[in-house]
Chain A
Amino acid sequence: GQQLNQSPQSMFIQEGEDVSMNCTSSSIFNTWLWYKQDPGEGPVLLIALYKAGELTSNGRLTAQFGITRKDSFLNISASIPSDVGIYFCAGPTNAGGTSYGKLTFGQGTILTVHP
Chain B
Amino acid sequence: ETGVTQSPTHLIKTRGQQVTLRCSSQSGHNTVSWYQQALGQGPQFIFQYYREEENGRGNFPPRFSGLQFPNYSSELNVNALELDDSALYLCASSLAVGGYGYTFGSGTRLTVV
Binary CB contact string for chain B from 17 to 59 against chain A (1 if under 8 A, 0 otherwise)? 0000000000000010100000011111100101000011111
A108's nearest neighbour on chain B, judged by CB, is: B42
In the complex, chain B residues whose CB is within 8 Å of the CB of A4:
42
Binary CB contact string for chain A from 21 to 56 against chain B (1 if under 8 A, 0 otherwise)? 000000000010100000011111100101000000
In the complex, chain A residues whose CB is within 8 Å of the CB of B99:
48, 50, 100
Give the docked Cα–Cα distance between A48 and B104 (Å).
15
The answer to whether B104 touches A101 (Cβ under 8 A) is no
The answer to whether B90 touches A42 (Cβ under 8 A) is yes
In the complex, chain A residues whose CB is within 8 Å of the CB of B59:
1
Interface of A is mostly: loop
Q: Distance in Å from the Cβ of A90 to the closest Cβ of chain B?
A: 8
Give the docked Cα–Cα distance between A108 and B99 (Å).
22
In the complex, chain A residues whose CB is within 8 Å of the CB of B40:
107-108
Give the docked Cα–Cα distance between A43 and B106 (Å).
8
The answer to whether A101 touches B43 (Cβ under 8 A) is no
Taking a contact as CB atoms closer than 8 A, the residue among B50, B58, B104 that contacts A98 in the complex is B50
Residues of A within 8 A of B (CB): 1, 4, 31, 33, 40-45, 48, 50, 88, 90, 92-93, 95-98, 100-108
Give 16 pairs: A residue, B residue, CB < 8 Å, sorted on A: A4-B42, A41-B107, A43-B43, A43-B90, A44-B104, A48-B99, A50-B99, A93-B58, A97-B48, A101-B94, A102-B56, A103-B102, A105-B43, A106-B42, A107-B40, A107-B41
Residues of B within 8 A of A (CB): 4, 31, 33, 40-45, 48, 50, 55-59, 90, 92, 94, 96-97, 99-102, 104-107
